[in-house]
């Protein structure tokens, strides 16, 4: 076994990991969780009396 065999094995393992991540990300079971996470910024209660976080004291 030389370095080229090791490189080939690492390449195949990397490809399999990539395909597994793609299958997980685009799978039907993950869609609900991703949709909930995408809507998190819009689901919070807005405080009207809270000071703005973008202003800085001078």
Q: What is the pLDDT of residues 1-58, one digit of tens each?
A: 899 999 999 999 999 999 999 999 998 888 888 999 999 999 876 666 666 666 766 6
**Residue at 56 is within a domain:** no
**Residue at 51 is within a domain:** no
> How far apart are the C-alpha atoms of 35 and 31, rounded to whole Å?
6
Domain that residue 13 falls in = 3-35
pLDDT for position 45: 67
**Collapsed DSSP state (helix, strand, coil) of residue 1:** coil
**Residue at 21 is within a domain:** yes
**Collapsed DSSP state (helix, strand, coil) of residue 25:** helix
Q: Is the pTM of this model over 0.95?
A: no
Total domains, the chain:
1
**Residue at 44 is within a domain:** no
**Residue at 30 is within a domain:** yes
**Residue at 16 is within a domain:** yes
């Amino acid at each position: 076994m030389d370095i080229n065999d090791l490189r080939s094995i690492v390449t195949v393992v990397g490809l399999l990991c990539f395909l597994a991540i793609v299958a997980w990300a685009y799978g039907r079971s993950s869609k609900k969780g991703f949709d909930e996470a995408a809507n998190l910024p819009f689901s919070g209660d807005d405080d009207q009396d809270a000071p703005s976080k973008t202003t800085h004291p001078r």
